[in-house]
Amino acid sequence: MSRGSFGTVGVHHFYVGRWLHGLFDLSLLVAAGIFFFASAWILAGLLIFVDVVHNTYFVYKLIIGEYRDGYGKLIRVPGPS
């Protein structure tokens, strides 16, 4: 699954068993969309910024090998150990 396709929606969190985390990502996107179409662009931009910071933090945790799935198991980037 490509991060670029579903990263902002939070599908990757559902895939690894982090349901509440996935719902948080999904709710950020939905709320940003609602504010955008209601012409509240500042709030929509703020929510998108929060989502970008949130995703960047968890990508960092994945890269350094500290990201865990919903069952507490480490998820690591493939490559040499």
- Specify the pLDDT at position 3: 47
- Specify the pLDDT at position 46: 93
Crossing angle for the helix pair 19-37 and 41-63, to the nearest 10 degrees? 150
pLDDT digits (tens, 9 = 90+) for 35-80: 989 988 899 999 889 988 888 898 898 888 888 888 999 987 777 6
Region 14-35 average pLDDT: 89
Q: Rounded to two decimals, what is the model's pTM? A: 0.72
